[in-house]
Amino acid sequence: IFCAGGTQEELLGILEKKIRFTDLEFLFRGLLECPVPVISAMQGHALGGGLILGLYGDCLILAEERLYGANFMKYGFTPGMGATNIVRERFGALLANEMLFTAHSFHGGELKARGATCRVVRKEEVIPTAFHLARELAEKPRQSLVELKTCLAGRILREFPAVLEDELQMHEVTFAQPEVRDRILNKFGQ
């Protein structure tokens, strides 16, 4: 597993308004604010918040055989963490819409066949591919990398406050539904 996202307890904490996904904003925002490019080498499954975390990398490498999904709607609540923007940014609008609406998980090879433009390689090649890419980046002048990273990530960061506000408003509505608690309690991990 690359990252499985929130725990059942964390999801219930959001539902009960004890926590908000924005309480951990530094996790996903930090990848954008890192001064140099971040490589997300997702050699394992990545679901929900775990997928979203990985998508904040500047360069993505997925494994053909692993599952990647934005499974929020499986539990009946809408995405958070800027997912409504970053999934579209990384996978394209139509594929992102399908992922977000259906909560379907896709194997990396299927994402590649559907037009995802990130690198998709055999699972045993994810880390070597990431190291090769890292060496390529390390050959570039650091200040040039910093300037380009600031420009590219800055576009996403500028949209961030409005996207998070939209997602928080959706959470107010969707987490208030009685069936969401039931889905979190009974469908979690299935």
Q: For residues 46 and 28, is the Cβ–Cβ distance under 8 A? A: no
Residue 94 tokens, joined? 């139509």
Q: Is 45 a catalytic residue?
A: no
Catalytic residue among 45, 107, 132, 171: 171
Residues, the chain, total? 190
Beta-carbon contacts of residue 15 (< 8 Å; ≥ 6 apart)? 77, 175, 180, 181, 184
How would you label 79-105 residue by residue, b for 16+ Cβ within 10 Å and e otherwise? bbbbbbbbbbebbeeebbeebbeebeb
Position 143: which residue type?
A: Q
**Active site members:** 171
